[in-house]
Structure 1
């Protein structure tokens, strides 16, 4: 019988942009985090960079990555992450999520986007663990929490469920700032840290209204939204902690582990 201690944790991470790989600190933090986790049987990623309704499943075999960014030096477009596909995990996801009014689509040609492969290159550099990415069919926190809750049984099969976003994300406001870390980023980060440590799910689901600077930290919520899949998949877990904190170019890179 699988016990709570045998289940894989769920994680939410701030994934950064491709230049994350050149940071002096962040890659090592992700590598250490990956090494501290039980080895997953497979990895399921929900990224801020794939919104599609109905919910869609990406490639179940190895296909080229999605270099879904513009204006970076050429070497960032040469990064490879040839992780095995995860057809068995895709079957399980379909069974758990498909139902009346809840179709699940297959998009076999869509590879991992940078919200998936940028952190995985650092966390699991051997690229030998099957990886599957699914889309976010909505940005509504309650709906994403429910999707996570329905995916929770995968944890008993050794699947690592990752929500990948950025803990604060307002690049337009950063461009207008005078430099440094803006107050809205630090205020939201501190509020979010406390809410996660206390697992105040109600407050987190209502973050746009309860968090200080909620609308400034996330003028559009796609980078915070994957957190709700992470929290839903954690079910009734009573343990949550920040594994990575601090800021990158003024944005909070807080990343958390639940369970």
Structure 2
């Protein structure tokens, strides 16, 4: 018997997330224990952008250490998940049927936007997955449409995860423990209200309507995964904020559930 999955947006933070003593690390560990077990995962990360929406077909993707300047122990961590080949073909078909630009690859490893939260939520790496890229330079509407294309998968006990960051300006960080900057807090308050009121048109047009859009997202790749998960939600479903924590005065670690 199949069960219906929600979609999930995760702010994944720095690559140190799996080894740090932080509220978000502990939240993700609890979330994985409490979440209804999916039969498979489709995951979109801010750290994989391509010229078209790309589905990974590699059977056993490697773990990618796409960072520098962090503790060497991080390079000993691996997430040896396997790709669900049949699901990958279905995902590609759904994207093509939606009229969205599509490509496939058999060479993509798991970037840290994928393996750091998965390592905390499902540490046994025993749930097969499918990786889908963002479309580089495509707008919010296309990534929302990607989520809508993936929506039917939820009826087959497939968990759709978007991994990015609710706010993401690495040039404006403050010392850890700092009060959130007004421009970051203002953006987060507006987005919280828009999500809780299910104002989808405002969210899709966030760059024109939200306060301080470029202060919080100088580039938009960390926000696009939220658009994917919003698109995967039922049209009349109110999103649920599961977690938040502020890091370095401007990084919101908000996580949202989309039913």
> Could you state the TM-score of these two structures normalised by the residue count of structure 1?
0.92
User: What are the residue-to-residue correspondences of 1:214-253 with 2, within 5 Å?
Assistant: 214-250=213-249, 251-253=251-253
Distance 1:252 1:242 in 2: 12
Q: Note the C-alpha offset of 1:24.
A: 3.0
Residue of structure 1 in register with 2:199 after alignment: 200
Q: Flag structure 1 segments of 5+ consecutive residues without an equivalent.
A: none
Residues 42-92 of structure 1 deviation map (CA, whole Å, 9 limit, x = unaligned): 101111011102211124311311111112121111111111221111011
Q: Note the C-alpha offset of 1:258.
A: 1.0
Q: Note the C-alpha offset of 1:172.
A: 0.8
SS of the aligned residue for 1:212 comes to: coil
Q: Note the C-alpha offset of 1:100.
A: 9.2
Q: Note the C-alpha offset of 1:239.
A: 2.7
2:24–2:245 CA contact under 8 A, matched in 1: no
Q: Note the C-alpha offset of 1:102.
A: 4.2
Cα root mean square deviation, aligned: 2.2
Residue of structure 1 in register with 2:12 after alignment: 15
2:44–2:133 CA contact under 8 A, matched in 1: yes
Q: Note the C-alpha offset of 1:252.
A: 0.5
1:30 lines up with 2:25 in the alignment: no
Residues 228-257 of structure 1 deviation map (CA, whole Å, 9 limit, x = unaligned): 110111132423111111212220111100
Distance 2:209 2:52 in 1: 29
Q: Quickly say closer, same or farther: Cα 1:102–1:214, change in 2 above 3 A.
A: closer
Distance 2:134 2:22 in 1: 31
2:81–2:128 CA contact under 8 A, matched in 1: yes
SS of the aligned residue for 1:45 comes to: strand
2:174–2:248 CA contact under 8 A, matched in 1: no
Q: Flag structure 2 segments of 5+ consecutive residues without an equivalent.
A: none
- Runs (4+) off by over 3 Å: 99-103
Distance 2:212 2:134 in 1: 24
1:145–1:229 CA contact under 8 A, matched in 2: yes
Residue of structure 2 in register with 1:61 after alignment: 59
May I ask how many residue pairs the two structures share in their alignment?
256
Q: Quickly say closer, same or farther: Cα 1:200–1:70, change in 2 above 3 A.
A: same
